[in-house]
Amino acid sequence: QVRLVESGGGLVQAGGSLRLSCAASGRTFSNYAVAWFRQTPGKDRELVAAISEFGGSTYYADSVKGRFTISRENAKNTLYLQMNDLKPEDTAVYSCAASRQRYDTGRFAALDMDYWGKGTLVTVSS
């Protein structure tokens, strides 16, 4: 029902910035709370940030708070993650995901998400 496609990943030096985008299909993007997750080999998938249906509420993992900003443009069916002051520890595959659950606190688990993109790789060099 919902198709998600990430873009914007790449290689960046520590301290640099990237903006990830997630394009959603259909006309019901605003029906879903959405989130960014990331995963590296040897680690569990980690919630990075989440945003409520109309963008009024956000959640950030402690590790990215103050550096990353999640936003959405529902008219464009697009989710963004602005990543500043990137660190080598941020290297991961970043995936966007949408949940049929209400936003509530925004602290989603991966199992809460109903639709997933394939991910985009972010590599931060030191």
Would you state the torsion angle of the CA atoms of residues 87, 108, 116, 42, taken in this order, to the nearest 10 degrees? 50
* pLDDT level of residue 113 (50, 70, 90 thresholds): very high
Tokens of 29: 């993007």
Q: By percentage, how much of the chain surpasses pLDDT 90? A: 90
Residues facing 78 on adjacent strands: 23, 73
Task: Report d(CA 65, CA 122) in Å as an integer.
Answer: 18
The angle formed by the CA atoms of residues 28, 29 and 34, to the nearest 5 degrees, is 140
Q: pLDDT for 33-84, tens place per residue?
A: 999 999 998 889 999 999 999 999 999 999 999 999 999 999 999 999 999 9
